[in-house]
Amino acid sequence: MRWILLLFIGLSLPALAELEYALKPRLIAPDTWLLEGSTENFAKANGGNIVNTGFIVTERGVVVIDTGPSKRYGEAMRKAIAAVTDKPVIEVLLTHHHPDHALGNQAFTDVPIGALAGTTELLHQQGDAMAENMYRLVGDWMRGTEVVLPTEVLTPGLKSFGNHDLRLLSLGGHTGADLAILDQQTGVLFAGDLVFYQRALTTPNSPGLTVWLADIATLQALPWTLIVPGHGPLATDAKPFEQMRDYLTWLDQLLRDGAANGSDMSEMIRSPIPERFAGINLSRYELIRSVSHLYPGYEREQMTRVDSTATRQ
């Protein structure tokens, strides 16, 4: 029996050794590095690396923005940072609780992991279930990954790291607790998943599309020079905001009209997608998910309350 186990382990090791994230830090502004993920869905082929993470090398040390989808990713991120600078990592800032942004926390337990209070609560509530789902989706890439909660509560305002003053904004359109980070020195805006660009947005925890639209207006009004979306390519112009506003407005109106017309969910998921969104990756897939997440709320809004006293009359 022992030789069978050893044989299995021996056969597994080469496969596991191939599971290496090819993280290549790209300098996008002074002291500021991006690790850009795919705009595809979670899959074993990409190990869940569908997210944009980054880090800023300040005078005091390295500030990490999001830790990626797994322990293995977090460890690869630390190696990528070490290849760029010998300064220590001094802080992690999490934009929100979703698994592709926060399940690499295990690789950073030696430094403060900062997040909005709502993010910590959501990760506490949903983290284990999200991790289990990631194991199903990407398999061995997740091996050894466990949920690690943030250790520092972040509040809106300026947080200084030597020569970089980071403006922290507490918003909520994507999950109810969404951190955006503007570097006052470089103008780089880490928007987290409040901004998707050329990749359809996800809505599992959104408190409402009107809330999200208000967040987009807030972000666009900031003195940014470069936008880092949570998913999708960088931009030096307002096109990500314009695309987000257009898509959110269309989706909101689609769901309102459907509820007003009494359309059922199966009809809504087959709704035609405007040609202008044809180039946005995973549009149909995410429309199906958004209908399942949001449409019941739109239907409830259309229900006429029957007052019990009026009924008796």
**Tens of pLDDT, residues 14-31:** 345 578 998 999 999 999
In order of 51, 206, 208, 293, the CA distances from 203 in angstroms are 16, 5, 9, 7
Cβ neighbours of 158 (radius 10 Å)? 10
Q: Quick check: 50 and 70 in contact, CB under 8 A?
A: no
Mean pLDDT, the chain, as a whole number? 92
Spans of the chain, pLDDT less than 70: 1-17, 304-313
pLDDT tens per residue, range 183-198: 999 999 999 999 999 9
Angle (nearest 5°) at CA 13 between 9 and 14: 140
Give pTM, 2 decimals: 0.91
Mapped onto helix, strand or coil, the DSSP state of residue 186 is coil
What CATH architecture does domain 20-237 belong to?
Answer: 4-Layer Sandwich (3.60)
Question: Which residue's entry shows tokens 């993010």?
Answer: 119
Q: How much is the CA Rg of the chain, to the nearest whole Å?
A: 21
Question: What are the backbone dihedrals phi and psi of residue 37, each rounded to the nearest 5 degrees, phi first?
Answer: -95, 175
DSSP letter at 281?
A: B
Q: Cβ–Cβ contacts within 10 Å for residue 233, how many?
A: 15
> Within a 10 A sphere around the Cβ of 241, how many other Cβ atoms?
21
pLDDT of residue 152: 98
| DSSP per residue, 71-125 | HHHHHHHHHHHHHH-SSPEEEEE-S---HHHHTTGGGGTTS-EEEEHHHHHHHHH
Q: Per-residue pLDDT tens for 57-101?
A: 999 999 999 999 999 999 999 999 999 999 999 999 999 999 999
**Spans of all domains in the chain:** 20-237
Query: Are 271 and 287 within 8 A, CB to CB?
Result: yes
Instruction: Strands of 8-163 (E only): list them.
Output: 26-29, 32-35, 53-57, 62-65, 89-93, 113-116, 152-154, 157-161
